[in-house]
A = this chain, B = another copy of it.
Amino acid sequence: MDDESTDEALRAIAEPRRRAILRLVAHQELPAGRIAEHFDVTRPAVSQHLQVLKDAGLLIERREGTKRLYRARHEGLAPLRQFLDEMWAESLDFARRIAEGERGLSDRQSEAG
């Protein structure tokens, strides 16, 4: 449940600016320059954010001439919802295993490290 893709997506949306970008292109395709106009940082900064979001699978890039259109990829957010859901379900089972065989932890202390 805590695979690398979830971690990448989580770190991506942990940044306020990236969340704002994500909302901008949530249901509307926009070019990079247009996105950058909404913020008071330089365009390269926005480009880097777009790259991070793209690597996290939260964005889709489409090239049209010299322009590059960006659009949110909603499936990319699904793992995060799944993570939150499993936070309830699986952890219950994990807690039960601790309660039943807690002495087992002394044998392998660094299982979560």
- When the two chains form their complex, are residues B91 and A26 in contact, meaning their CB atoms are under 8 A apart? yes
Chain A binding surface SS class: helix
Interface stretch, picked from A10-18, A47-55, A60-68, is A10-18
With A16-B2, A23-B87 already in contact, the answer to whether A38 and B74 are too (CB < 8 A) is: no
With A2-B19, A11-B14 already in contact, the answer to whether A88 and B74 are too (CB < 8 A) is: yes
- When the two chains form their complex, are residues A77 and B87 in contact, meaning their CB atoms are under 8 A apart? yes
Chain A residues packing against B (C-beta within 8 Å): 2, 7, 10-11, 13-14, 16, 19-20, 22-24, 26-28, 37-41, 72, 74, 77, 80-81, 84, 87-88, 90-92, 94-96, 98-99, 105, 109-113
